[in-house]
Amino acid sequence: MSAAPQTVHSQGSGSHSLEARLIRRLLSSLGDPPIEFLFKWTGERVAAPATAPVAQVQVADRGALLGLLADPQVRFGDSYSAGRIEVAGDLVELLSVLYRSAPRDGADGSLARRVAGWLHKPRRNTLSGSRVNIHRHYDLGNDFYALWLGQTMAYTCAYYPRLDADLDEAQVAKMDHVCRKLRLRAGASVVEAGCGWGSLALHMASRYGAKVRAFNISKQQIAFARSRAHELGLERSVEFIEDDYRNIAGEHDVFVSVGMLEHVGPENYAELGRVARRSLSSSGRGLIHSIGRNRPAPLHPWIERRIFPGAYPPSIGEMMQIFEPSDLSVLDVENIRLHYAVTLRHWLERYEESVDTVRAMFDESLVRMWRLYLAGSIAAFESGELQLFQVVFTTQENNDVPLTREYMYPR
């Protein structure tokens, strides 16, 4: 028998280690994605049968391997962040084949998916819970996000009128797409739920002449947004309010929320709908922009634990629990998931250019964790695991609605 490393391709036990056989079973349960494992401490290689691997997963030690076998979704991310798992080849491609190979279930979801749902309740988004959850992600520091989000600091899916648009152009195009969908006019009053670093609110005021009240519970984002409003001389048009969307009051022409719904939690959708309904005049228009799914499923558990505590991307059916109980009328739903894949590629490219700065600000572990998150998100949007929905709505009684959607596409 040769002592040279060999790749385990069959289910047969033969001369392969127990670990190799267990990884082989794991691959099989994942739909046999075309990837190869390398155990660095023995040189042994394991792959799904009859496929040319797109990338190699290099496991540094037996402990990391056992972790992977016990809880693959969470421990892959944790060991990758810790440098105990390395990837030779294209990280995005590796994660894409994992998403694409995963067996699709029947009508009720696979047992595994349902078990994952039971075990994995996202952290609840009560008023205080939301503050903790939002703080963990968004208060990593404005300087960190400024490295890779581009000039607008918009941390949501951009909109590419052409594939060769650059990130900043596409973020501005997204804001204009949203404003057009809302038929924003000079003097309109807008309330924004979850305003990030304030780019949309400022854009609505400076380019459309709107009066905006913008809510956010992230201290650092609000501080940043206020100082931008000051620099731009827009303090009279835009008010940044450090408060929860549930405390929004007053009647407005427009209700808008871009990239907040992911943090709201389905248990609060009916309340969000009541807030939106009471915020709108009878001819008011609303827009909610959110990551979503084709069917209900929990967020990837590693992302929910390490990156976005409390987050949940809903299906359209789940999103309707915002609108239906309040008799809001949905006028338009657009799915722009492929735009998010492009946006994320632009973010990842800028992130990699700034990786030394990130390492200096934090450590190698955060560098790797964030790289995995961005790459995995590209894979999720490209494979259709995640979607991006923009929903336009109005009150049931509003008949002041354009006949066609041509107004969204000026030329």
Binding site for a second copy (CB under 8 A): 100, 104, 107-108, 159-163, 270, 274, 294-296, 315-317, 320-321, 323-335, 338-339, 382-384, 387, 396-399, 401, 403-406, 408-409, 411
Query: 2 or 399, CB closer to a second copy?
Result: 399
Query: 241 or 270, CB closer to a second copy?
Result: 270
Radius of gyration of the chain from its Cα atoms, rounded to whole angstroms: 23
Least separation in angstroms between CB 20 and a second copy = 31
Least separation in angstroms between CB 160 and a second copy = 6
Least separation in angstroms between CB 314 and a second copy = 11
Query: 253 or 382, CB closer to a second copy?
Result: 382
Least separation in angstroms between CB 380 and a second copy = 12
Least separation in angstroms between CB 217 and a second copy = 25
Query: 146 or 333, CB closer to a second copy?
Result: 333
**Cα pseudo-dihedral 336, 339, 340, 344, rounded to 10:** 180
**Cα pseudo-dihedral 73, 79, 82, 85, rounded to 10:** -120
Which residue, 153, 131, 158, 133, is CA-closest to 143?
Answer: 153
* Contacts within 8 Å (CB) and 24+ apart, 122-127: 122/265, 122/298, 122/299, 122/304, 122/309, 122/310, 122/311, 122/312, 123/309, 123/310, 124/265, 124/267, 124/310, 125/263, 125/264, 125/265, 125/267, 125/268, 125/310, 127/244, 127/246
Query: 46 or 380, CB closer to a second copy?
Result: 380
The 3-state secondary structure of 277-330, one letter per residue: HHHEEEEEEEEEEEEEECCCCCCCHHHHHHHCCCCCCCEHHHHHHHHHHHCEEE
Q: Tell me the two tokens of residue 50.
A: 């009859």
Query: 16 or 300, CB closer to a second copy?
Result: 300
Least separation in angstroms between CB 268 and a second copy = 13
